[in-house]
Amino acid sequence: MIGSTRPNPTFARLFSTFHRTVVRWSGGRLLTGFKGEPMILLTTTGRKSGEPRTWPLSALREGDGWVVCASNGGHDRHPAWYLNLEANPEVTVQDGRRTVTARARITEGEERDACFARFCDYLSNYRAYQEATDRRIPVVVLEPVAG
């Protein structure tokens, strides 16, 4: 696969910063949906810093929660947010104006494959991301916790 199919990491960081800023500035009214599915802000705890880290992600609704894909644009490393939730699965999700505490659960086997197929149906670039890397792209379910 040609490297140009992967998003430029610098552009991705800048766009994500812009996206996060607009969502927060608008109180969750702008840039929070695409093709009928949510664009969420996922806040994890930095595994090294212990500080909150927020990243905008495409998500699919799953019951009361969400499914996210750690594609990292097809790059060979997992995204930092994924490594953070591996270390600490307690996260915060902002979906539009709604913010909830959730627990991240990494899918495996048939569940992972079914969720990843949903992402490929939603946005075909996920298929290209998987083809661009040797790592198996993780899929994570974010389940709201009571309280």
pLDDT at 47: 96
The pLDDT score that the predictor gives to residue 37 is 64
Superfamily per CATH, domain 3-144:
Electron Transport, Fmn-binding Protein; Chain A (2.30.110.10)
20-42 per-position pLDDT tens digit: 666 676 676 655 556 656 789 99
Whole-angstrom distance, CA of residue 102 vs CA of residue 29: 21
Q: What is the pLDDT of residue 1?
A: 39
To the nearest 10°, report the CA torsion of 133, 119, 32, 17: 0
pLDDT value of position 3: 44
- Report how far residue 7's alpha carbon sits from residue 50's, in angstroms, rounded to the nearest whole number: 28
Structural tokens at position 129: 């991301």
Q: Find the mean pLDDT for residues 138-144.
A: 98
Kindly provide the b/e burial profile for residues 35-67, where b requires at least 16 CB atoms within 10 angstroms of the residue's own CB: eebbbbbbbbbeeeeeeeebbbbbbbeeeebbb
Could you read off the pLDDT of 44-102 as tens digits, one per residue? 999 999 999 999 888 999 999 999 999 988 889 999 999 999 999 999 999 988 999 99
Note the pLDDT of residue 2: 42
